A and B are shown apart, each in its own frame.
Chain A
Amino acid sequence: EPEVTQTPSHQVTQMGQEVILRCVPISNHLYFYWYRQILGQKVEFLVSFYNNEISEKSEIFDDQFSVERPDGSNFTLKIRSTKLEDSAMYFCASSGQGLETQYFGPGTRLLVL
């Protein structure tokens, strides 16, 4: 069964460093998403991406964040200068069409020291 994959599973970084989280969505999907979950809190929407551009973003998704689909298979989330409060699980999701079911990856646990 097709699934969303994410790498790395864990990432530890120093405050101020740049990190790139990678996702491989389900192959025939067209819509891509990033969510995050701070430990003990709700899953929060960050951004949705379609046709090589951001279709929606939340207030959390400020200028420190960017997304990219560098090739036909990967979808990345970049945090330019990490802060302590960026420590969270980051989940990638994809859907075939925008209104169809979103399928989530296993997540990347980011720890900013």
Chain B
Amino acid sequence: DAKTTQPTSMDCAEGRAANLPCNHSTISGNEYVYWYRQIHSQGPQYIIHGLKNNETNEMASLIITEDRKSSTLILPHATLRDTAVYYCIVRVHGGATNKLIFGTGTLLAVQP
């Protein structure tokens, strides 16, 4: 089972920042937080990942709380093409498994 909790759905106005929360209260010290998104049954698309520091790339920013029990994915200027299901996944580095365990994610609907 997925080790994260996300809201089922969120709306965001086009051009505004989209802030997608994720709870991972049972995260362990060697688990990273990964974000993927899936646009209408296309393949999951990697967005960003982090361990404890905030991370930023050309797609998004990832803010991880100091206790690492939750995080927020920020899309700074959402566009209609950002409408997708966003998955927050915790994944160990150095463990016995490489598999990704997907939950149900958050359906982000960007409104014009």
Contact = CB atoms under 8 A, between A and B. Distances in A.
A89 B99 contact: no
Contact of B102 (A31, A44, A48): A44
Given A106-B42, A106-B43, A107-B41, A55 B104 contact: no
Say whether chain B's binding surface is mostly helix, strand, loop, or mixed: loop
A104 B94 contact: no
A76 interface: no
A105 B43 contact: yes
A104 B98 contact: no
A13 B99 CA distance: 28
B17 interface: no
Q: Which of under 10, 10 to 19, 20 to 34, or 35 or more describes the interface residues of B?
A: 20 to 34
A109 to B, nearest CB: 8
A73 to B, nearest CB: 18
A33 B102 CA distance: 14
A101 B46 contact: yes
B77 interface: no
B101 interface: yes
A98 B41 contact: no
B74 to A, nearest CB: 19
Interface of A: 4, 31, 33, 35, 37, 42-45, 48, 55-56, 58, 89, 91, 93, 95, 98-99, 101-107, 109
Top 9 A-B pairs, shortest CB-CB distance: A104-B43, A43-B102, A45-B99, A98-B98, A99-B93, A104-B44, A106-B43, A91-B43, A42-B102
Interface of B: 34, 36, 38, 41-46, 49, 87, 93-94, 97-104
